[in-house]
Structure 1
C-alpha cells in the first residue's frame, strides 16, 4: 500500500512516525489537519485516518487524500468514541513512534522532525512536546494527547494500557498518567508547536457543559486508577504521582473549573477525599511539600461548603505575593540577576 522510500526512511523500510487522526464530523477542518502533516519537513511518516462513523463529508475528504498519497490509509468504524478510534489507529500503526493529531487541529511544519530527533537523542519512551508542557515536566502527572509523542515499542510492552473507551473527558489523562508511571525514559521537545483550533462544536465544550455526564464518569476514573496501581504494585513508589493526578484532574479541571452544583461539589469532594485517604499512608512528610496547599486543605476538611471562600482568599494572596515579588525584583541593580529572578518567579507561579 505504501510507495517508494523517501529520503528519511532507512534501509530496513521502517516508518518513522505513525500519525493517527481520529475523525468525527470535522470535514470542514480535516484538509487543514492532513495538509499540515503532508507539509512536514520530516517525510518518513504514515497517516492513519480513523473515521468514527462521521455523517458529514469527512469520508469523501479522506478518500481523496488516500487516492493522492500512498502513505495515507483510511479506516471507517461505527461510532464508538474518540478513544476507540485512537486505539484502532494504534493497533494498525507501523511507525517507530506514534502521534495522535485531532482532526480539527494542525502542526507546525517542523513538528515531526524536532520530535523524532529529540526522542531519538533522548531515547524516550514518552516525549513531552510543546513549550507549555515541557516547563511543567517536574511532577507532571498527565498529558493531553497533543503533548504525547510515544515510542510504539513501549506501548506494545503494555497492551493493557490504552485509551479507556466510553470515557470522555479524561481519557487522555488516564492513558498518559499510567504510561508516565511505567517509565523513567521521559524526554522533552519544547520546539514542537501544535496549533489548537477553538470552535463551538468541540467535544470538551459540550462535555464541560454537561456536568452530570462528567460526574457520572468519575467513579470509573478512580476504578481504573485503583486497578492499575494494584496490578502493577506501584503504590509504594508512585503514590505521590497518583495524588498529583487527582489534584490536577478531578480537583483542578473539574471541581474548580466546572460549573458544578453544590450537591455535585459535595459528592466530588467526598469521592476525592476518600480516595486520597487511602493513599496518604504511602506519602512521606517530605513528599507532601509537592502537593498544593489548597488541595491538602480540600482533602482534610469534612464539608466542602466553605472551601470556595478559602480558595478565593488563597488566590488573592498569591496574586498579591506575585506582584510584591516582581516589584522587589525591579529594585535589583544588576540586569542579569533581575532577568534570572524574573524567569525563576514566572516558572514558580506558572506551576
Structure 2
C-alpha cells in the first residue's frame, strides 16, 4: 500500500479544524497507510485543544503526529516542517480551514496507482461558491517541461500547493521548500515543482473543498503595502536565480502584482519609505528585463510606469487583465521553448 503523509498547519482555525480532521479520518477507502502530521504554529486560540481532544478520542487506522513551533513562523515554515518530518513516499497538504471531499483521497490514490511513475497527482477543487476550479471531463497527463509549465500558464494546474499527492523525494532532492516569512509563496513554489516533476497527472474529479478564511492574511483588509512589496522583492530575488526556462513566466507574475500594488498606492496611499521600496523593486525588475534581452516583457513592463499604469484603475481592465497576463505568459513560455 501507498505510504502517505498528510500535512496540516494549524493557526487560529478553531471554527474549522475539527471538520478538517474529520474529513481526513473519513478517507478509510483510500488504499494508503496514512499518517497525519499536525503542525501547531503557536496558535493563540483553542485550535490545538480541539485537535488534542479529537486525536485522543479517535480510534482508527490514521496515525496522528503533532509537532509544535517554539514561535509563530507562518504557514510556509509549518509546511516545511511537515515535509521534513514526513515518512510517507508522498505528501499531501491540506489547509486547516478546508476539508477533503468524500472519497477524495481514494480518487487521488487510484490515479496514482494507475500511473505509479507520477511525481504529482492533482485533484480538482470546489470553492465556497460551489464552482469547481476546472470544468474538464478527462484526466490530463503532463510529461514535458513545456506541458507542465504551460499547465500553470493556462490555469490547468493551480498555483495552490494543496489537493495534490507529491512524491516527497522530488521536494527533498531538489530542495523545493516554501520561502518563509512571506505571502504569495505559492507562486514560486509551484513553478519550481513543475520545473522538476517528471510526470504530472491532473484529474477532473473534485477531491477538495476550499473555504476562504475571512481571518486569514490573504483576506485581511489590514494587509500592509510595505509587507506586499517586501514579499515580491523576496520572490523576485529568488526567481532570478532560477533557470531561464521558468524565469520569464515568473517575471510576468511579478509585473502583474506590481501593477496591483501601484493601484493600492493610488487608492490608499503609503509612507515615503514604502514608496521608495516600491520604486526600487520596480527599477530592479525593469533593469533585469533589459539586461536579459526580453523585448516582450520590456513592452509589458511599461504598464507599471506612468502614465500607463492608470489603465488598471478601470474596472473593465482589472476584470480582464488576467487575459493579457495569460497571453504574455504563453508567449514567454513559447520563446523560452525555442531557446532550449
* Distance of 1:214 and 1:302 partners within structure 2: 16
Residues 218-266 of structure 1: CA distance to partner in whole angstroms, max 9, x if unpaired? 2211111123x2xxxx32xx1xx32222223x23345237852145875
* Distance of 1:276 and 1:125 partners within structure 2: 33
Contact 1:208 1:214 (8 Å CA) reproduced: no
Pick the aligned partner of 1:114 from 88, 93, 107: 107
Determine helix, strand or coil for the equivalent of 2:240: helix
Judged with a 3 Å threshold, the aligned counterparts in structure 2 of structure 1 residues 128 and 275 are, in CA distance, closer, same or farther, namely farther
* Structure 1 unaligned blocks of 5 or more: 1-9, 289-294, 322-347
Contact 1:211 1:259 (8 Å CA) reproduced: no
Pick the aligned partner of 1:42 from 17, 27, 30: 30
Pick the aligned partner of 1:58 from 42, 47, 58: 47
* Distance of 2:232 and 2:201 partners within structure 1: 30
Q: Which residue of 1 aligns with 2:74?
A: 81
* Distance of 1:313 and 1:56 partners within structure 2: 39
Q: Which residue of 2 aligns with 1:272?
A: 285
Deviation at 1:43, TM superposition (A): 5.7
* Structure label with greater radius of gyration: 1
Judged with a 3 Å threshold, the aligned counterparts in structure 2 of structure 1 residues 111 and 120 are, in CA distance, closer, same or farther, namely same
Determine helix, strand or coil for the equivalent of 1:27: coil
Q: Which residue of 2 aligns with 1:157?
A: 173
Q: Which residue of 2 aligns with 1:183?
A: 197
Determine helix, strand or coil for the equivalent of 1:140: helix
Q: Higher helix fraction: Structure 1 or Structure 2?
A: 1
Contact 2:239 2:250 (8 Å CA) reproduced: no
Normalising by the residue count of structure 1, what TM-score does the alignment of the two structures yield?
0.70
Instruction: State the structure with bigger RCO (CA 8 A, min sep 6), 1 or 2.
Output: 2
Worse overlay, 29-38 or 192-201: 192-201
* Distance of 1:23 and 1:48 partners within structure 2: 10
- RMSD over aligned Cα atoms: 3.4
Judged with a 3 Å threshold, the aligned counterparts in structure 2 of structure 1 residues 34 and 115 are, in CA distance, closer, same or farther, namely same
Judged with a 3 Å threshold, the aligned counterparts in structure 2 of structure 1 residues 18 and 29 are, in CA distance, closer, same or farther, namely same
Judged with a 3 Å threshold, the aligned counterparts in structure 2 of structure 1 residues 310 and 215 are, in CA distance, closer, same or farther, namely closer
* Distance of 2:51 and 2:133 partners within structure 1: 31
* Structure 2 unaligned blocks of 5 or more: 125-131, 137-146, 267-274, 324-329, 331-340
Determine helix, strand or coil for the equivalent of 1:145: coil
User: What does 1:95-110 correspond to in 2, within 5 Å?
Assistant: 95-110=88-103
Residues 286-334 of structure 1: CA distance to partner in whole angstroms, max 9, x if unpaired? xx6xxxxxx6633256834323338859849979x9xxxxxxxxxxxxx
Aligned residue pairs total 285
Q: Which residue of 2 aligns with 1:195?
A: 209
Worse overlay, 105-114 or 260-269: 260-269
User: What does 1:1-351 correspond to in 2, within 5 Å?
Assistant: 10=1, 15=3, 17-40=4-27, 41-42=29-30, 44=32, 45-67=34-56, 68-69=58-59, 71-78=63-70, 79-122=72-115, 123-130=117-124, 132=133, 138-140=150-152, 143-158=159-174, 160-167=175-182, 169-206=183-220, 209-227=223-241, 229=242, 234-235=243-244, 238=245, 241-248=246-253, 250-253=254-257, 255-256=259-260, 259-262=263-266, 263=275, 269-280=282-293, 297-300=299-302, 303-309=305-311, 312=314, 315=317
Worse overlay, 67-76 or 271-280: 271-280
Deviation at 1:19, TM superposition (A): 0.9
Contact 2:229 2:278 (8 Å CA) reproduced: no
* Distance of 1:193 and 1:273 partners within structure 2: 41
